[in-house]
Amino acid sequence: MRKVKWGVVGAGGIADRRTIPGMMLAKNAELVAVMEINMEFAERIRAKYGAKYAYDNALDLINNPEVEAVYVASPVLYHVEPAIAAAKAGKPLLCEKPIAITCEKCKAVIDACHEAKIPAATGFMMRYGAYNMAIKKLIEDGKLGQIVSARSQFTCWYPDIPGAWRQDKAQSGGGALMDLGVHCIDILEYLTGGKTKEVSAFIDTKTFNYNVDDSSSVMIKMDNGVVGYIDNHFNVPDNAARCRLEIYGTKGSVMAENTLGQEDGGRVEVILSEDKEYDANQTRIENQKKDPEFKLNVEFGNMYTREIESFSDSILNGTPVNVPIEDAVHIQSVIEAAYRSSESGKVEKCD
């Protein structure tokens, strides 16, 4: 099978922790080049994965004729330049989330991709989570009826660390909401098929000393009528949170724990239950026991492999891009509306 030859910009972070190991398992992708901030680091990553080329300059990697597609996984502030350069070189682009620190800068990347007519995707890899794919199908099959509300929660313990780019607004654009919330909003839109139109938020830095948020609670209203609640924290211990995903519909619900993350796994409870009439006695504990258990059929694997295989297939065969980069710009507009709402105390609209 033909393999897309990939070059990775910023290869030593999530690329090394997850995406390159996932790429190594993909049947239609091959790592040929890596770039890091210095040659010693780049060379270490190159040798680890047996890639052909190591660089300390993104443009050199992008201009290597053997590199057919570019994955940008540097800190957020440093996405735009290599992303636009990749587009200008006519190379398909997978750019990590968030694309840029502002919506305006995201749009510059999109414009470059459109102008060059290249396939472009973003790193909302949770769409490829085994449970998330099964939950989406369950909803599309109408098993939960009309979806009325949803919640997604994603947190991590992230204390003050000198020099950490995520803790510096100039480099990250924001904190828990910007870093973790983008996944949560995207997954609620993806699962329910809606697009956020209105946002209300309370965002704060309660615990740590950095200049980005460590606490974020956001409510969204989508064009399909679904109201979503999204909570993201940098100040809740890892083991104290369950990264809950909850979807409620007129015929049942999904309540999941630890399915939002970087690995397939976690726990999902699906309750299919139809009430025909109002029960004034509210005998809900009894009733729940009678609801049949519904098991989701899932096959665990590697969501980064699925992400790379899917986009490589789009590159090779022109299949639709499953996570188009345009979706990331929309999510960024939701994020910006949330920060505005937290300041203004009002419901804000987004694109």
Ligand X SMILES: NC(=O)c1ccc[n+]([C@@H]2O[C@H](COP(=O)([O-])OP(=O)(O)OC[C@H]3O[C@@H](n4cnc5c(N)ncnc54)[C@H](O)[C@@H]3O)[C@@H](O)[C@H]2O)c1
Residues in the site for ligand X, rule: CB under 6 A?
A: 9-10, 12-14, 18, 36-37, 58, 73-76, 78, 96-97, 123, 125, 179, 262
Q: Are 31 and 24 in contact (CB under 8 A)?
A: yes
Structure tokens at 339: 């920060």
Structure tokens at 14: 């999530």
φ, ψ (nearest 5 deg) of residue 133: -65, -40
Element (H, E) at 35: strand 29-35
Query: Least distance in Å: CB of 251 to ligand X?
Result: 32
Q: Which of 288, 327, 255, 302 is nearest to 25 (CA)?
A: 302
Q: How far, in Å, CA of 330 to CA of 334, rounded?
A: 7
Which residue, 93 or 270, is less far from ligand X as judged by CB?
93
Query: Least distance in Å: CB of 78 to ligand X?
Result: 4
Which residue, 173 or 228, is less far from ligand X as judged by CB?
173
Which residue, 70 or 150, is less far from ligand X as judged by CB?
70
Which residue, 178 or 203, is less far from ligand X as judged by CB?
178
Which residue, 13 or 301, is less far from ligand X as judged by CB?
13
C-alpha distances out from residue 216 to 200, 300, 336, Å: 11, 31, 13
Query: Least distance in Å: CB of 302 to ligand X?
Result: 12
Query: Least distance in Å: CB of 348 to ligand X?
Result: 23
C-alpha distances out from residue 341 to 153, 172, 178, 334, 338, Å: 19, 19, 14, 10, 5
Q: Residue of minimal CB distance from ligand X?
A: 13
Query: Least distance in Å: CB of 324 to ligand X?
Result: 15
